[in-house]
Every structure is written in C-alpha cells, then in structure tokens.
Structure 1
Amino acid sequence: MKAVLVLEDGTVYEGKGFGAVGEQFGEVVFNTGMTGYQEILTDPSYCSQIITMTYPLIGNYGINDEDFESIRPFCKGFVVREFCEHPSNWRSGKTVNEYLKEKGIVGISGVDTRALTRRLRNHGTMGGIIASGDFDIDELKEKVKQPPTWTGPELVLEVTTREPYNLPNDGYKVVLMDFGAKKNIARSLHNLGCDVTVVPAQTTAEEILAMNPDGIMLSNGPGDPAAVPFAIETVKKLLGEKPIFGICLGHQILGLAFGAKTYKLKFGHRGANHPVKDLATGKVHITSQNHGYAVDGDSLTDKDLEVSHINMNDGTVEGLRHKTMPVFSVQYHPEAAPGPWDSEYLFNQFLDLMEKWRR
C-alpha cells in the first residue's frame, strides 16, 4: 500500500503505508529516542502531531499491555524508516502495525527519516498531511496549507480526564491536575506512598483546595501553554496555598502564572538523551523530554522566582524554583517512560516540601 507525507512547504516523502488507511493533518515533529515507541505513541503531549522516529528500526519488541501512557494514542500519524512486522519479545501482544490499525493511526515506512529530520531542524516543525491508500498529491498540497489545529485550548480539553479518579494510599494527599498527564506521573507518586487524585484540567482552585491536599502536581500536556488561560488563572489562585510541582506543560503554565512569557521553539526537544544542568548542585542529568515551547528566562518578573535548571544543548530554561513559596517545576520528565531515571530525585524533593508544609 503506497503512502505519502506532504509538508506545508511542498516537500513530499513517499513510502509504504501501515496501520490505518486514511488521511490525517498534524504538526510534523521528530523524536530521537532509540526505544520507547509505545510510550511515545501514547503520550498525550503528542496530541495532533505526526511523530517521526529518528531511530531507523521501530517495532522490534512489539506492543505490550503494560507500557501505555494513556488510554489511547492522541497523535495523528507515525513516520518510520523501517517497521518490524515480526517482533520478538516475551511481553509482546501485537505488532505496531496491528496497534495503529486498531486505533486508527496512519503510518508510513520507507521514509528517509534522516532527511526529514534535517529539514525540520533547519526550517522548524511544520504542518503536514500523512495519507495512505488512494490520494491525490496536488490535492494534499492544497489541504496542507490549512490553518494549524495544534495551538488552541481544545488540545488540553481533548486529552484530560473527564472525571476525577483516585489512586488510594496512606501517604501524602496529592491532587494531580491532568493537562494530558502520562500515567507514570501518577504511578511514580503512588509508588512513593502518595494518595493521588487525578482531576480534569478545568477543575477550579476552590474545588482543589476543598480536597485539602498536601500538594498539587501540574502535569504535562499538548500545545501552546498560553492557549489555556483557565489553567493559568487556576494556578495563580493556588500559589502559596499548597506545595506545587509542575512538569513540562505544567512548568510552562506555572511560569505564566508568575507573569513570565513563553515562546515556541524552532523544532522542540523530543527524546530521551537531553542533558540538563541542576544549577544548585552543578550536576548534569540526562533527561527525557517532549515539548515544543519554553519559558523565557529574561521575562521573569518575580524576583523570588529563579531559574533552577538549564538545557546544556541550547541554554533554554529547564526548571524554575521560588525562593519563598513551596513551588518548583521542570520542563522535562522526571517520571521518564521512556528514558533515564536520573531525575527521579525530584519526586522526593516534592515529598520534602509537603513534609515541611505540614509542619
């Protein structure tokens, strides 16, 4: 089955289709991870995006029932150099091809992903249409010029939980605001003994405080952080009320709540090998990342809010910490899934903040 990826600049990449048959429009991005394609596919932060994997062979260990990061994939397409039709792993339950077909995700293989990645690095992420089966190239080139659909508040509203749910435990009570939370965030807190209540993104500050939590977690999620003003206003009301830990989109929303600005990165940070320096210790940690926006460090107006971590590749802000309030955040994923566990210590810092707050 023939397939094609058409970028908004008119570039066409031909290949073979796998997964679902059809046509999807999205933002074309790339991920440099060598493993973890199942977690990447099911990370809600990829909502409305077409994911390009730079590692050439994808699918060799199949899809299992344990490594999903959400109830379904929210991405629009999957681009690979080669996909494996016959995986070999004791946990494998189905192939990537079978999974994408089941979930309605269009895939394309046989693409020169190195050339595609270079184009995205040089020109920035851009809109694209992935199509398989019957299609007309000229029609696709016209369709790809349509306005982007990956910047508004509807992305967060699409991926957030519809109803609150609880992971009971005997430790600290944590409310996790779900802007597109990966399951491993709640799982990591729960494994440390926390009683975790996951709430929809639209939950008000009053409703959260009525739950009397020991701390509040702001999750990752898709899209432009400035496009979710309701979340920014909620976080503003929570500042100083309880310890707060923000991750990825939660980090950006926290920065905006303090009056800082955010901006779109040229091609984002997506992978499992990004070096980040902790300015308090001088140590460099290898981190898992997935974001297309960043906090502008020069826009910090609160003198008590300081940059705590920086990206060693490009110097962008990777963490914030408040000097007087029990508030901190990181741009990357300490819960990993996939990726290294270098930053797991941040969850313990959150527990320490909640312990001090209790006193």
Structure 2
Amino acid sequence: MRDKMLVLENGKTYKGRGFGSEQEAIARIVFNTEMVGYQEVLSDPAYYGNIVVMSYPLIGNYGLTDEDYESKGIHIGGFVIREYNDTPSNFRFTQKVSQVMEDNNVPGIAGVDTREIVKIIRDEGEMIAMITDAASDVEECIKKMKEYKEPKNLVSKVSVKSISYARTRNPKHTVVAIDCGLQRSLLSALTNAACNVIIVPYNTPYEVIENHKPSGVLISSGPGSPFDLECIVETIQKLKGTIPILGIGLGHELVALSYGAKIEKARAGKRGANISVKNLVEDKVYIVEQNNSYFVNEKSLKDSKLDVIYKNVCDGTIAGLINEDDMVVTSQFIPKQKGFVLNKFIGFMDKIALDENPIINRYIHEKPTN
C-alpha cells in the first residue's frame, strides 16, 4: 500500500501509511473518542461522508463481524488512525477493516499523530480535510479543498427508498420509523420491546404515515444538517399531540425545530460512546453513545413547551427533551434498551392503547370480536 498524506484545511499535513482504498478523498473531518466499537462507527449512517479520526490508537485488532454492523455497508468518507492491525484476533471476525474499506472505496491513513489532530479539531473546529498520495502537492490540495462544496441533504443518501418492515413475536405496538439513518441497534431495541417497526423513507408524507395507524413514530438519527429537512419538521408538527413521538440524534434536533426552538452548529461536535449526560428527572449521570454536530439553544426553549430532561455534563448543552402532554420525548444520544427515554416512549404508547382500540398484529388492524 502506498504512503498517504492527510492535509487539513488550515495547511497542516501528516504523512503515514495508506490502507483501504487507493482513491483520494475530500470531506469534513471529525473525531471519535470511543475505545471500542470502530465497526459501529464505520457502519453508522450518521457518519456518512465524514473523514473520521479515532482518538483511540489501535484499530483493526478484532476485525469486523457480520452481526455487528449498524447498517448495510460502511458510510464514512475516510479513516484516520494511529496504528492499524491487519491480523485480527477474534473468533467471530469475518473480514478485515482494510478489506471492507477497499470494497467500499474508502481510503485510510495510519501512523499519524491522531492526538494532535483531535486537539486541532477540538480547538479550531471541524474543517475540510483531504486524504491523498504522499507525493501530492500541498498547495494544489489546499486549492482543491477551497473549491470543494459540501453536499446537502445527506439523509437522502442513507434513507431507505421504499418501505420495509422489522417484525417481532407477539407485538404490542406498531412504530413507524422515519429513516434518516436508522441504526440496527435502535431497531433491535424497539423489536425487543415488543414493537413491530415500519421503516419509511425520510420524505414520507404525513398522510402515508397516518394510514399505517402507528402506535408511535420514531425520527431516527442521521447525517448532516437539520436545516435540510423541512419536510420532516412539517410532518412532526402535524403528528405532535396526536401520537407518541421519539426523536433520536438528528431527530431530536428536528423535534426541537418543530416546536420553534433554535439549533446551532457546534465547534467540534460530540462523537463517542463515552459521553457523560445527566438525567435531570432521576438526578443520575449516564455514559452514552452520541454523534452530533448541532445542538439545541437552551434559551430558545422558553416558549417552546419542551422541558429539558438531559444535559451534557461537560458543557451543559441539552441532550434530551420532553413534552408530556404531547407525548413527545427526545435524546441527542442513542438510548439504551429499557433506558429512561425508550421506556418513556413505550409508556406513552401504552397510555393510549385502550381496550377499545384496534388490536395490532403483524399484518392487519382488527377490532376485537366478542
């Protein structure tokens, strides 16, 4: 594999060993702080197109496993790591990281000072970066980055194109999931909670969602800016108050917009599985998985009818919201199965599942017969 070079928008360069695809990549560079779970990062649709820097130094040592993907394929635009291990030691592994990256045309660079790169992004903010051949002219690379235009509406790249279903045995509820980049782990949490899930494209109209007669609606996490998704905001405005709503990640931001709150761009975002958040209801601190570049402006919530239920421990930014009357709950992070957020959502659906409502089974809606 040829030597590679990482070039940052600020002119900083780092040379290292290439792995994965040989192709050149230009994209926004972000960092992730988790110590394990690189497969989940590679396959999380919320990272679509990003060049991802892993702060943990060793990557590839346990390979990739078919059962651990968060979605079909991988979605990142490039991978920057300190040390790459191409001889995995794991009885479950089925593929090597470099092999899958090559198959998906994703370039990587190893042997660079990832600690320094993370500090630059943290202090200066996210920026455009480029992974290229080590012999490339730096001035020409910077020129290409200045001419680069970031794509809009990344959700359209990762959302399903047609309706699909996730079934469970003896379901209690039917949830329509608006797919902005739905993770398999969240889908499994819902099916394990006795929910059939109908997964619909991100731009599905309100009327189509209503025709499914769902017990609740999920707006999933996903990549890019919430300001590109006015269609989902309008759908939420029609749904809220009539049906339980769960907003996760990008969905959390879209719910906030639907209530008139303001969303702001973060300098460096929060990405990792070691993010500390405090539940203000339980007065407990949890370590969660999070991936976001935007946050809800707390002052803008004054007249929104949304209450804060989670805050980030480190900087005090909002990590969760609720409106009990409208049966709406959100989290900026990925909720745990049987955790507070998911239990609230299930509780809202239980609340409206009265005896006279139609019995919901896997395929049809029937009224009980005496």
* Counterpart residue number, 1:353: 348
Comparing 296-305 and 44-53, the one that deviates more: 296-305
Paired residues for 1:212-291 under 5 Å: 212-291=213-292
TM-score by length of 1: 0.95
Report SS of the residue matched to 2:66. Answer: coil
CA distance in 2, matches of 1:123, 1:201: 33
The structural deviation recorded for 1:345 is 3.6
In structure 2, how many angstroms separate the alpha carbons of the residues matched to 1:254 and 1:278?
A: 19
Q: Percent identity?
A: 39
Where do residues 1-359 of structure 1 align in structure 2 (5 Å cutoff)? Answer: 1-132=2-133, 135-150=136-151, 152-153=152-153, 155-169=154-168, 170-335=171-336, 344-359=339-354
User: Is the CA contact 2:259–2:304 (under 8 Å) kept in the aligned structure 1?
Assistant: no
Tell me, yes or no, if the aligned pair for 1:17 and 1:133 is still in contact at 8 Å.
no
In structure 2, give the amino acid aligned to 1:51.
V
User: 1: distance between equivalents of 2:239 and 2:145?
Assistant: 41
| Residue aligned with 2:243, SS | coil
Aligned amino acid, residue 348 of structure 1 = N
Residue 190 of structure 1 deviates from its aligned partner by 0.6
Distance 1:227 1:301 in 2: 24
Q: Give secondary structure in 2 for the equivalent of 1:351.
A: helix
Contact 2:166 2:197 in 1 (8 A): yes
Return 77-86 or 134-143, whichever deviates more. Answer: 134-143
Counterparts of 1:203 and 1:134, CA distance in 2? 47
What is the Cα deviation at residue 10 of structure 1?
1.1
Q: Distance in 1 between matches of 2:164 and 2:227?
A: 27
Q: Which runs of 5+ in 2 are unaligned?
A: 355-370
The number of residues matched between the two structures is 351
Amino acid at match of 2:166: L
Q: 1:293 to 1:303 in 2, by over 3 A?
A: closer
Rounded Cα–Cα distance in structure 1 between residues aligned with 2:84 and 2:72: 23
Q: How much is the aligned-residue C-alpha RMSD, in angstroms?
A: 1.4
Contact conserved, 1:2 with 1:16, CA < 8 A, in 2?
yes
Q: Deviations over 1:53-92 (max 9, x none)?
A: 0000001000111111111212110000001010100011
AA matched with 2:216: G
Question: Whole-Å Cα distance in 1 between the matches of residues 303 and 73 of structure 2?
Answer: 39
Please list the CA deviations of residues 203-231 of structure 1 after superposition, one character each: whole Å capped at 9, or x if unmatched.
01111011000000110001111121111
1:275-327 residue CA offsets vs partner (Å, 9 max, x unmatched): 11111111111111111100111112535211111000000000111141100
Deviation at 1:132, TM superposition (A): 3.7
**CA contact 1:106–1:132 (8 Å) conserved in 2:** no
Larger Rg computed on CA atoms? 2
Quote the residue 2:366 is aligned against. Answer: none
Q: Distance in 2 between matches of 1:163 and 1:185?
A: 19
When the two structures are superposed, what TM-score results if normalisation uses the length of structure 2?
A: 0.92
The alpha-carbon distance between structure 1 residues 299 and 175, as it changes in their structure 2 partners (threshold 3 A), is same
Task: List per-residue Cα deviations over 1:146-189 (Å, max 9, x = no partner).
Answer: 24415x22x01001011110112322000011011111111110
1:180/1:220 contact within 8 Å kept: yes
Aligned-residue offset at 1:126: 0.5
Tell me, yes or no, if the aligned pair for 1:85 and 1:97 is still in contact at 8 Å.
yes
C-alpha distance in structure 2 between counterparts of 1:228 and 1:134, whole Å: 40
Secondary structure of 1:71's partner? coil
